[in-house]
């Protein structure tokens, strides 16, 4: 699996508190092992984001991503609280 990070993802990640950054890093590590791990609550999005999916990183943190070729290539595009990523 190749993982890439959109510049908006990186910018938002750097604004998170250190504990939140750790949760995101842990979620990505778990995602690398098994993107469909039930703890991540991997789900398809709807509406304007219907071409994207999201995972949970604990609490209210969400990571939005695009996946290609059955998770061979993943691009994380947004990170933040539920309200921040779905506005």
Total number of domains constituting the chain: 1
Q: What was the pLDDT predicted at 85?
A: 78
C-alpha angle 67-10-50 in degrees, rounded to nearest 5: 35
- Per-residue pLDDT band at 5 (split at 50, 70, 90): very high
Q: What was the pLDDT predicted at 77?
A: 95
Read off the CATH number of the domain in which 20 is found.
Answer: 3.30.2310.20
Q: Tens digit of pLDDT for each residue in 36-85?
A: 999 999 999 998 889 999 999 988 899 999 999 988 999 999 999 888 87
> What does R_g of the chain's alpha carbons equal in angstroms?
12
Which residue reads 């250190």 in tokens? Answer: 18
pLDDT reading at 4 higher than 90: yes
Q: How many CB atoms lie within 10 A of CB 52?
A: 17
Domain hosting residue 77, numbered range: 2-85
- Per-residue pLDDT band at 87 (split at 50, 70, 90): confident
How far CA 11 is from CA of 15, 57, 58, 74, 85, in Å, comes to 7, 17, 20, 18, 13
Q: What was the pLDDT predicted at 59?
A: 81
């Amino acid at each position: 699996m190749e993982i890439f990070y959109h510049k908006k993802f990186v910018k938002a990640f750097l604004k998170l508190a250190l504990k939140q950054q750790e949760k995101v890093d842990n979620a990505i590590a778990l995602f690398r092992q098994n993107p469909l791990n039930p703890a991540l609550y991997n789900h398809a999005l709807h509406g304007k984001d219907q071409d994207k999916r999201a995972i949970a990183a604990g609490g209210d943190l969400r990571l939005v991503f695009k996946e290609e070729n059955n998770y061979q290539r993943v691009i994380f595009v947004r990170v933040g609280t539920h309200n921040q990523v779905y506005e």
